[in-house]
Amino acid sequence: MSLKHILLGMLANPASGYDLKKDFEYSLSNFWNAELAQIYPTLGKLEQDGLISSKVQPSSQGPNRKVYKRLKAGQNELTNWLKQGPIIPKMRIGYAAQFSFLQELNYEERLEFVYALQRDTKKRLAVLQKFVELYPLPGAEKQSEHFSTKQEKEAYALQALVIHHGLLRLQALLDWCDLAIAQMKAIK
């Protein structure tokens, strides 16, 4: 199960299941997501396996929190996972499958399908753009000098790059929408 390793990675700093869910909802959701109903049992398994440990702490606002931290065994498991090389996802791109069946619809319905995809992509791009502004790539501008330690520079660069990955992906999709609309109009 990949989520085990993802949570292990996210636990660079101690956090509760609820905290981790928040992380998914923000920037992380561009490349992974998980529901609380999956996070809690998975944290339980990680603890059983001795990869993380938990400590109950009072919350400033609400019931007690169960804060997890990564153990040495968890650290090892994580680096081993990373050393096994990049995991190429099995593609399940629903809209692309649907697109290849668009002959079943008429001209207007087909175009509307692609317009809807375009609108959705623009919306998601607008959300991402805010993160891109928070994490501009080092080089072009003068940021990154803000960071004193090498650790901080590295952390910043990785964050910025992963956000940029989402950006390139969404831009490529938008380009494709334009192409599809043009082609579909051309053969009308």
Partner DNA sequence: TCGACCATGTAACTAGTTACATGATTCG
Partner DNA sequence: CGAATCATGTAACTAGTTACATGGTCGA
Residue numbers of the site for DNA (CB under 7 A)?
1-3, 16-19, 22, 33-38, 40-41, 43-44, 59-67, 90, 92
Decide: is 129 part of the binding site for a copy of itself (CB under 8 A). Answer: no
CA dist 117 and 114 (Å) reads: 5
Which of DNA, a copy of itself, none binds 101 (CB below 5-8 Å, type-dependent)? a copy of itself
Among 43, 51, 117, 128, binds a copy of itself (CB under 8 A): 117
Phi-psi region of 179 (alpha: psi -120 to 50; beta: other; left: phi over 0): alpha
In angstroms, give the least distance from the CB of 77 to DNA: 13
Return contacts of 69-75, CB within 8 angstroms, 24+ apart: 69/11, 69/14, 70/8, 70/11, 70/12, 73/49, 74/8, 74/11, 74/46
CA dist 40 and 173 (Å) reads: 34
Which of a copy of itself, DNA, none binds 41 (CB below 5-8 Å, type-dependent)? DNA
Which of a copy of itself, DNA, none binds 43 (CB below 5-8 Å, type-dependent)? DNA
Which of DNA, a copy of itself, none binds 69 (CB below 5-8 Å, type-dependent)? none
